[in-house]
Structure formats: structure tokens, C-alpha cells
Structure 1
Amino acid sequence: MKENEIVPGFTLKDFEERLNNLLSIMDDNSLFILGSKKESYMSPNVKYPYRQDSNFYYLCGVSEPECYLVIRKNNESSQIKHEITLYVREKSKREFFHGVVNGVESLQKLFGNLIEVKPVKGFLRDLQGHVRNYNIIYHDPDFDEGLSDFIVKSGGGIEEFRGEKQRKKVIYPDSLVSMLRSRKSASEIAHIKKCASISAQAFTELMKKIRPGMSEAHVEAILEFECRIRGAQRLAYPPVIGSGDRANIIHYLTNNHLTQDGDLIRIDAAAEYYGYMNDITRTFPVNGKFTAPQRKVYEAVLDIQKKCIEYLKKHTTETITVHSYHDYSYRLIIESLSQHFNISKSKNELCQLADSVVYPHMVGHPTGMWIHEDIPTRDDKLGPGMIITCEPGIYFSNQVKEYIPNSLLHGIGVQIEDDILLTEDGIEVLSHETPKEVEEIEEIMARGRAQHPMYFSF
């Protein structure tokens, strides 16, 4: 980490700004309670690798379980306007088994006067008094049933929270934090650009090394390896590695078939870098050379994607929502089916075909710390600081071959996805380093075969 960073990429000033922004949208006389992600087990005594809850990490940067962040916002007339407390595990002999924890003292030095750090063993005792004193409580009742029961009991019983005598109100904390996370700061944008560069280099290396006959699992392993040796903690989500007709399965996760000479492979995968991630998809030929039919579909999708990216630039002068953005892409898909692929159907029939199989997903969604970031509704305006994907696709699955007159197109599925930052004066394609032009892909893959002539699966 660099000097003054609390976690890689972010300083105390970043977390102070986030907490102040949260306080600015909390109600007066309110209590905010957020727990860290619970550990989960694949079998008794064997834990899954731990990943912190994104909202918790966003607000304090701590990556340990068994922690709680509590924020008390008082009335304007109060002498103390707010208090922020972080409850964490203490250092103990457990570290010999489970790894070093930060502990109270080291975290207090990091956070200074911004956050008071206390041992987690005192959390429930303190919480009991807080719940009695505040009438608005930001808490997720589904997070921990036992904790929710404790809050209700501490607040005077269920009648205090519902019914005619209700005095206390529970609000999901996600509703506040998601609002803050939707607009990325300069530090976050720089961090996500670093992540995008890792993903781009990994895709480029994969294009060099992939060969017909490799298993989809081998392809996945290469991509994860190339991401992790460049600093990524993991892949951002379970990757889609679909070759041949499996490229037409939108969320194909089996990844256990052998690739064949002549297949296209659709890969939806990207890196996660210290809490932030990309969402990138590329489709390319396993043998390094597009056939004429494959290129026809690919270039149709690429043309649609470029037009959709241009459309996003209008957010600075027009009201653009996720719905209007998708509707624009949908019209382009319908036009392409009719004009480029000679599917002679009525507009209604083309729409039914697109909805069911050929284009059954949205053109994009916000992304950042979650692969699908929350937005209040798809009709809310998109604006500067948001990152949204652009991921049109055309899927000519063998299931719909009776609608496709050209049999050479059967089984071809193509999707191209990039992450787009909306700025004050336009857009920036954050994943621009990841190759997507036909000539560039073929040149990289040819170069890879020259560099690694014997790279193959066992």
C-alpha cells in the first residue's frame, strides 16, 4: 500500500468523505447498524475464502468477519452531532489458526478521531442502550435473526415497531449506501481503471494461449491465473466460458466441455481488485480465425455496441435511463435481424424472437463493488460518476434454427461487453484495453501461436 492508505487505493480522507455523505442523508435521531459478512463453510471446519460485505468495506475498509459499524446521528440541537463506532475482534491465540487480525489498537491508530474502535464483545451491551434512545433504526432484519430479535426486545418489544403504538421505524441500510455507491469518486474510478487494466491483460494473454481441444475449465484457469498474478484477489464472479452452441446460454457456468476447432467461445469474466470489479465479455474464435458467418454476426454486434456507447454520450444533454438505453439497443437488434440476416418476419414476430432467445437480456446495468450495482429503478436518470455496462448480444442458438434462413449461422452466439464511465462531458470506456476489433483479435492470436506453438491441454 502507498503511504496514508487505509486499504489499497483509498486514504482516511476517502472514508471520512463517505461517512460524512452517509450522515448527510441519515435522518436526525437515527441509529445505523451494519454488520460484516458472516463466514461460510464448505464442510465442517473448512471455510470458504472470505469476502467482506461490499457496503461494510465501502464505509470502513475492514476485511474481517465478526465486526459491526454503528453510527448515531443526533438532533441538530445536540452538543454531539454524531458518533461512529467500529466493533472488531481482539487479537488472540486464534491467529495461529486463522491468520492475523488488526485488533483494536492498530485500527484506532489508523482511524484516529474519525471512528472510535472497540472490542466486539461490548457490541450488544452498547447496542441495547442505543436502541432505546433512537426511533429510526437503519438495520437489515434479514442479516441476523438473533440480532433482530435483540433489537426488538431492547427497543421495548414488537409493539414499538409496528401497530397503533409504533414509535420506532426500521429502514434497510442498503437503501442509503447504494445511493452513495452509485456515483464513483475520483479514487474509485482510478481503482476500477487499475482493475480494468488487469482484466485486459488477462484477456490478451488468454487469446494468445487458447487452442482447440482445450477444456473450458482450462480456459477459465488461464484467465484466473493471468488476473491473479497481476494483483487481482479473485475473478469478480463465476465466469461464463461457453464454446460452440454453449455460447448461447447466457449464464452458462458448467465450463466443462472441450472446445472444438471452428468454435467461437464467449467469455464473460473479469478481475476483482480490492473490493472493486469489472464486467467484461469477449467472443472470439478458438482457432484464432473468424469464419465468414462468425464475422458477420460478430461485426453486427460490434456495430450495435458502438452505437449504444455513442447513445450513452447523450446523458449530458438528455434524460437517459436504463430503460431508454435498453430500448435503443433493442431497436438496433430488430433492425439487424431484418436487414443483415434476412429474417423475413413481421415486427411482432421479430420482437418475440428477440425477447425469447436472440436477445433475452438487458443491454446494461450499473457496476462497481457488485457486478450488478443497485439503482432505485430502471427509470431513474443516469448521470456523471456512474459506471454502466454496454453488452448487446445476438444468439442464434440451434433451438431457433428454423427461423434463421442461413444454416451457416446456426449455433453462433456473440456478445461484447464493456464498462462505460459517464462523465460531466461525455463517456470513457474503462475496458478499452481489452481487444475487440476483428483484426486486432486475429493478430494477437496469431502472435500467440508463434510465441507458444505447443500450448495445449492435457
Structure 2
Amino acid sequence: MRFVAIMKCLHSFMAFPYTTVSVSFLIRKYSTKTELRQVPKRYLGQPSPFTHPHLLKAGEVTPGLTQEEYALRRYKLMSLIQREFNALGGGTDHAVLFFSNPTVYMTNDIPFPFHQHNDLLYMCGFMEPDSILLLQNKPGLTLPSHTATLYVQKRDATRELWDGPQSGTDGAVALTGVDEALPIEEFKLVLPRMHDEGVTVWLDTTGPAHTSLHSRFLKPLMESITQGKKSVRPTQHLVQKLRLIKSSAEIELMKKASHISSYAFIQTMHSSKAPVDEAFIYAKFEFECRSRGANILAYPPVVAGGNRANTLHYIKNNQIIKPGEMVLLDGGCEASCYDTRRYCPHHVGHYLGMDVHDTPDISRSIPLQSGMIITIEPGIYIHDDDIAAPEKFRGLGVRIEDDVVITEQSPIILSAQCPKEIYDIQQVCGM
């Protein structure tokens, strides 16, 4: 089983190697403590402590994650940039950019539910489209001292009528605790400074997260940089180093997501009697996750009866499961921006976090460290035409995943509540 939970905090001061330093010490020493502003007493573009006190406490940006934790993440990123750039040599001025995802439409004017780009979400917790986070070193000071500015959509009455409330600049700055929030149109005013040869620009170089914003603001800048003497520096490897190690708050959110998914599996097993449509199992699992507090499913689940389980990414889920057939359910939920998942067929294991396959560029050959969350997922697949296998095993596909938090002492098995032993499964299924 997999519980992929969106990770929002950091556990150690630096990455590779990681040095364990208390959060309170960093807050005192480097002033990452944020001044709480009063959140507007109205609905924003995402839950706030005022509108959703059952989800967020005062000072939290997203459930369980405070402004201070997000500020600490930004500080750690700028510290990594300082370390990397000192090794390479260069100027002292830096501009680090994170772009939101755009709204994606199902049809001409009907949007899919919005899901924020994980890197921007990780750095500030802002959950609205068409936004940019800019981190810059403070004038006259070197990193890791910096300012954080969010560029967001202006509130628009017509747009709010159709799409719901927007945070605006006042809501964005009060909720997230960044230094400043400005209308997205004003981002063009900082672009001339980035053309300067003395400013190093950092962003995700794997491709534009938001093609419209990239074309509108970054394309001329990128062309200027290409023609000049400086280059754009990538951020993705640095952010992944930070996301690799989970904070205690992140681990608690993972536990919550794991609890939801475990009980969703138990209830789905209990109510699924052959013959049954794969679509029913899909719907039952999603209902059980959402009714217990999950926001959405983390990905389209695999519900595969019989030999269909040997198709690793089978997501049609439209066949009837016959009596005597085994069922493989690969599913997980997202709760408080963290995903959970069970049963997955990729290698023996992988990192788990904001994504199902989290921090993909981090080598799986490095030593395990406290704060990592990994999967352990053995599987066996025997196609129905495999004459080398005993006939009774042909058409069998099984994978069972545990999600494990690495600690200094004993590991924490997040998926312990989900039945995996034969006897336990038989009891749940009423066999």
C-alpha cells in the first residue's frame, strides 16, 4: 500500500550531508520566524484558519504546516544555493523563480480541479493558479538572507462569480507569511534586473510549468541569457534534496494519510464480493478515502481482476471480476496535500513524499537517513500463458507495499494498519 503525502517541511539544516539542527535554533539564529498578519475575514482561494478552523490552526498555511516551516524551507534552499555557487564561483546576486501550474480545462470552459505545482507548493503553500514565487537575496547582503515575493492574480468579481474566491495580494501575504505579495502584472517590473550580468537566475530547467506565464515573462529573459555570458541554474536537484528528508510535521501528515488509506482498503475488501465490477471497487475505495478526509485520490487507481493484474498500469477498470479471481488494487489518497499509496510495481522500492515516486533524481544507492520515507514492495507476476508455471498460479499478479519512515531507532511502518497476512485478509473479506 502506498501513502503519498505532500511534504511540506524539512528535518535537517543542510542536505548531502544532512546536519541535524533544531528548527527552533534556526528560527532564533536566522530570523525565519514570521510575523503573523491577520488573515482577511473572508473566503480566500484556499482554506484559511478563519474559514476552515477545523482544518487549520492560527499560523498554519496548509493543514499541519506553519508559516515558520515554509520560511525555513526557503532559508534552507537559499543556503544550498549559496553553498553550490560558492563552489562554482560567481556573483552574489540571485533570483530564484517558482511557477504555479495553470488551470487545465476538461472542455472549453469547464476546468479540472486545480492541483498546484509541487515545488511552489513546497516553498510557500500557495494553492492558486497563475502565480509566481520570487526569492531574491536582500540588497547589499549575501545569501541565505533573502526576501520572498508572491505574484498573484488580482481579485476579479466576474472571475470569482464563476470560479470562486481569490486570495488577492492581501490574502496571499497574510496566509503564507511571505514578505510581499503583488499583482502578477507587476512581475515584469523585476525582469530588467534579471537581465543584469551580475544576477544569477535559478529555476526548474526541466520545462516550463506554466507555458503562458513562461511565454509572457520568461521567454525574452531566456533569450537574453542565451545570448549573454551567463546561464540559468537548475533548482530541481536542490529542492529534491530538501524534500527527501521529512520533518516531524510531514511525518504526522503521512500517518494521517496512511490511516485513511488503510481503512479505505479494509472497507473496500469487506464489501467486494464476486461477481463484482472493477468500477465498483474503484468507486468504493474513492468514497471511503474522501469520506475520511482525503482531498482526492493521488492517481487513477489500478483495479485489476485475474490476469489483468499483469498489466502494471491497468486503469480501464471496466471488467467483471469472477468468483475465484484475485484482485489487485493499486490506489492511494491525497490528504492535506500529501499522497498515500499501496501496491506499486516499480523496483524494490522508491522514495515517497509529495509525489507517489518522489524526488526521482535522487539516487537510490545513497545510505538511508533519518527522515526519509521509502517503499518496500515485493511483487510476483505470472501471465496466464506461462506454461513454465504451475497451472493454478497462471494469471496471478500480486504486489504488496509497505511504506516506511526511517528513524534513528526502529523504523515506523506507516502501512501497518492495512491487512496483508493471509489470515487477516480472509477475516476482512469474510472468507
Whether these two folds match at TM > 0.5 is yes
What is the aligned residue count? Answer: 362
CA distance in 2, matches of 1:439, 1:280: 19
CA distance in 1, matches of 2:185, 2:217: 15
Aligned residue identity for 2:132: Y
1:372 aligns with 2:357: yes
Q: TM-score, normalised by structure 2?
A: 0.79
1:173 shift after superposition:
2.1
Aligned residue identity for 1:19: R
Aligned to 2:167: 102
1:75 shift after superposition:
8.2
Contact between 1:54 and 1:275, CA under 8 Å: does it hold in 2?
Answer: no
Aligned to 1:229: 291
CA distance in 2, matches of 1:250, 1:23: 40
Q: TM-score, normalised by structure 1?
A: 0.74
Give the secondary-structure state (helix, strand or coil) at the position aligned to 2:126: coil
> Which structure has the larger Rg?
1
Contact between 2:194 and 2:200, CA under 8 Å: does it hold in 1?
Answer: no
CA distance in 1, matches of 2:395, 2:144: 66
Give the secondary-structure state (helix, strand or coil) at the position aligned to 1:426: coil
Unpaired runs of 5+ in structure 1?
283-359, 450-458
Unpaired runs of 5+ in structure 2?
1-55, 83-91
Flag the 1:199–1:58 CA change in 2: closer, same or farther, 3 A.
same
1:210 aligns with 2:272: yes
Q: Any residues of structure 2 matched to 1:37-436 within 5 Å, and which?
A: 37-73=101-137, 77=141, 81-93=145-157, 94-112=159-177, 114-132=178-196, 134-140=198-204, 142-143=207-208, 144=210, 147=214, 150-151=217-218, 153-154=220-221, 157-158=223-224, 160-161=225-226, 166-281=228-343, 361-374=346-359, 375-399=361-385, 401-404=386-389, 406-436=390-420
CA distance in 1, matches of 2:304, 2:221: 52
1:365 shift after superposition:
0.7
Measured against aligned partners, the alpha-carbon deviations of 1:64-92 in whole angstroms (never above 9, x if no partner) come to 00110001125875599422111111222
CA distance in 2, matches of 1:420, 1:268: 17
CA distance in 1, matches of 2:353, 2:144: 34
Flag the 1:134–1:111 CA change in 2: closer, same or farther, 3 A.
farther
1:107 shift after superposition:
2.3
Contact between 1:279 and 1:367, CA under 8 Å: does it hold in 2?
Answer: no
1:275 shift after superposition:
1.6
1:204 shift after superposition:
0.7
1:390 shift after superposition:
0.8
1:219 shift after superposition:
0.4
1:106 shift after superposition:
2.0
CA distance in 1, matches of 2:101, 2:204: 12
Aligned residue identity for 1:98: D
CA distance in 1, matches of 2:275, 2:338: 33
CA distance in 2, matches of 1:31, 1:136: 6
Give the secondary-structure state (helix, strand or coil) at the position aligned to 1:42: coil
CA distance in 2, matches of 1:90, 1:120: 7
1:376 shift after superposition:
2.6
Flag the 1:422–1:57 CA change in 2: closer, same or farther, 3 A.
same
Aligned to 2:63: 8
1:36 shift after superposition:
0.5
Which structure shows the bigger proportion of residues in helix conformation?
Answer: 1
Give the secondary-structure state (helix, strand or coil) at the position aligned to 1:43: coil
Contact between 1:279 and 1:418, CA under 8 Å: does it hold in 2?
Answer: no
Aligned residue identity for 1:138: W
CA distance in 2, matches of 1:445, 1:79: 58
In terms of mean alpha carbon deviation, does 423-432 or 372-381 score higher? 372-381
Flag the 1:6–1:149 CA change in 2: closer, same or farther, 3 A.
closer
Aligned to 2:39: none
CA distance in 2, matches of 1:19, 1:80: 9
CA distance in 1, matches of 2:420, 2:144: 55
Aligned residue identity for 2:166: V
Aligned residue identity for 1:273: A
Aligned residue identity for 1:97: W
Measured against aligned partners, the alpha-carbon deviations of 1:219-275 in whole angstroms (never above 9, x if no partner) come to 000000000011111111111111111112111111110011001101110111122
CA distance in 1, matches of 2:275, 2:291: 25
Measured against aligned partners, the alpha-carbon deviations of 1:76-134 in whole angstroms (never above 9, x if no partner) come to 7559942211111122211010011111112222344x421111121122233334365
CA distance in 2, matches of 1:152, 1:247: 45
Contact between 1:131 and 1:151, CA under 8 Å: does it hold in 2?
Answer: no
Give the secondary-structure state (helix, strand or coil) at the position aligned to 1:373: coil
